[in-house]
Amino acid sequence: MKIIVLKFGGTSVGSIQRIKKVAKIIKSYSKKYNVIVLSSAMSGTTNKLINMSQKISKNFADNEYDALVSAGEQISCSLLAGQLLSEGIKSRSWMAWQIPILTEGKHKYSRIKYINKTKIYKYLKSGGIPIIAGFQGVDKNLNITTIGRGGSDSSAIMVAKFFKADRCVIYTDVQGIYTTDPNKLISAKKIKNISYEEMLEMASLGSKVMQPHSIQDARLNRINIEVRSSFVNRSGTLITKRKNIVNNKIITGISSTNNDAKVTLLGVRDRPGIAASIFKPLYLNSINVDMVVQNISSDGKETDLTFTIKSYDLNKTKKIIYNNKNINFKKMIFDKNVSKVSIIGVGMITTPGVTFRMFQALAKKNINIQVISTSEIKISVLIKSNNVAKAIKCLHKEFSLEK
């Protein structure tokens, strides 16, 4: 029989009533497929656990963080397996260490490298439905690890890869991937098919419906992903390779972030290598620099440099810059009330004028653009956070996404 992987997100297993509904969905597949289930923690649980760790210390040990926050999945998986058992269906929960799901990399941000198939295969053959904990793994020393917030999506894709699943379905609380967050813009439209490339950009640029790593893993392994709702039985979105998609839209979607910070260094004494001197220590401290602009002064001796980082990295960044003996500058200023709004679409590769249309639409609404960055299939602008909703609305209209 063919294998299907079903992943349920936090809201989908957020209450006992929801878990009962999910059991029904699982049952509906079990006649046709060998079902492997991946579950997130019940919604709110992971945040609650993280908050507790923060009350102990802002520098809570990373290995204990992983042991703590991975616990949420143990609860949801055992409740779900228990529900299936109570309905007479053979099922059991599997934590990552019991399989094992092996990860590599640092605590909190590990990546799944290998999944041992033996026990799960045996269990499937015996007619059981395994409920596997998403988000967690173990390293080679059997320490518990986690794979980044929203990581159950990645767990599902990697299980689909290792078990050569026929299908991988991500069940969530919206009906699929929309042109923009449907909880933020009512006229957002469900997308039927979207390419890995566009989905990866949307996810990386703030559309949290899928974790970015999961899309990378799916693209590398050519795994089609169906995203659909566990609340209503409607067709969802297929994430697949570009070749499978016919799309006449220039822009496919709009994403936004809500945790950016802007740092500007005024009067930096300019010399070759100065940008590298500023950014190297940030890189060494795992601080991700995103957008960058540099202006040269008229005499060519000084420069102003602006860049963006995640707002939770701001204090660390300030310290690193002030302590950097290799650079000289007059003043450092920051702004935490900024957000990045991005338009994404493979159509822009072949269509001229997209940048102009984006900037003009924002200008008409009096929205000032602070920093710009582009790639082949996306244009991002940094604007004041309180303009985000207005920006998304006008861009959605400009590129006819509601149609």
Cα dihedral across residues 298, 303, 309, 311: positive or negative: negative
**What's at 392, amino acid-wise?**
I
289, with CB counted inside 10 A (0-12, 13-18, 19+), is middle
Please state the closest distance from residue 128 (CB atom) to ligand ASP, in A. 23
Nearest to 147 by CA among 116, 114, 104: 104
CA angle 10/202/204 to nearest 5° reads 75
Q: Does 46 bind ligand ASP (CB under 6 A)?
A: yes
Beta bridge partners of 170: 7, 227
Closest residue to Mg ion, based on beta-carbon distance: 150
- Side-chain-side CA neighbours of 350 within 13 Å: the count stands at 6
Q: Which residue of 9, 72, 128, 212 would you call a contact of ligand ADP, by CB under 6 A?
A: 9
| Sites for Mg ion among residues 144-203 (CB under 5 A) | 150
**What's at 128, amino acid-wise?**
G
Which among 5-13, 132-140, 158-166, 367-375 is the span making contact with ligand ADP, rule CB under 6 A? 5-13
Q: Does 137 bind ligand ASP (CB under 6 A)?
A: no
- Side-chain-side CA neighbours of 236 within 13 Å: the count stands at 25
CA distance 356 to 370: 16
Q: Which residue of 41, 102, 200, 305 would you call a contact of ligand ASP, by CB under 6 A?
A: 41
Q: Which residue of 21, 90, 113, 208 would you call a contact of ligand ADP, by CB under 6 A?
A: 208
Q: Which residue of 100, 128, 137, 151 would you call a contact of ligand ASP, by CB under 6 A?
A: 151
Nearer to ligand ADP, 103 or 152 (CB): 152
Please state the closest distance from residue 121 (CB atom) to ligand ASP, in A. 25
Which among 3-11, 84-92, 271-279, 348-356 is the span making contact with ligand ADP, rule CB under 6 A? 3-11
Give the C-alpha distances (Å, rounded to integers) separating 101 from 70, 131, 137, 222, 254.
13, 13, 5, 21, 34
Please state the closest distance from residue 139 (CB atom) to ligand ADP, in A. 24
| Sites for ligand ADP among residues 153-182 (CB under 6 A) | 172-174, 177-178, 180-182
Nearer to ligand ASP, 151 or 176 (CB): 151
Q: Does 149 bind ligand ASP (CB under 6 A)?
A: yes
Residue 339 phi/psi, 5° resolution? -145, 155
Would you give the distance in Å from CA 240 to the centre of its chain? 17
Please state the closest distance from residue 10 (CB atom) to Mg ion, in A. 7
CA distance 41 to 70: 8
55, with CB counted inside 10 A (0-12, 13-18, 19+), is exposed
Q: Which residue of 39, 152, 303, 380 would you call a contact of ligand ASP, by CB under 6 A?
A: 152
Which among 149-157, 189-197, 370-378, 387-395 is the span making contact with ligand ASP, rule CB under 6 A? 149-157
Please state the closest distance from residue 209 (CB atom) to ligand ADP, in A. 4
| Sites for ligand ADP among residues 118-157 (CB under 6 A) | 150
Q: Does 40 bind ligand ASP (CB under 6 A)?
A: yes
402, with CB counted inside 10 A (0-12, 13-18, 19+), is middle
Which among 52-60, 101-109, 145-153, 249-257 is the span making contact with ligand ASP, rule CB under 6 A? 145-153
Interaction pattern, residues 231-260, with ligand ASP; x per rule: CB under 6 A: ------------------------------
Please state the closest distance from residue 293 (CB atom) to ligand ADP, in A. 27
Give the C-alpha distances (Å, rounded to integers) separating 22 from 9, 16, 135.
10, 10, 19
Give strand ranges (E) for 105-205: 111-115, 129-133, 136-138, 144-146, 167-172, 193-195
Bond prior to 100 in cis (omega within 30° of 0): yes
Please state the closest distance from residue 59 (CB atom) to ligand ASP, in A. 20
Contact partner, 137, from ligand ASP, Mg ion, ligand ADP, none, Cβ < 5-8 Å per class: none
Contact partner, 174, from Mg ion, ligand ASP, ligand ADP, none, Cβ < 5-8 Å per class: ligand ADP
Q: Cα-atom radius of gyration of the chain, to the nearest Å?
A: 23
**Residues engaged in binding ligand ADP (CB under 6 A):** 9-12, 40, 150, 172-174, 177-178, 180-183, 207-209, 253
Which spans of this chain sit near Mg ion (rule: CB under 5 A)? 9, 150
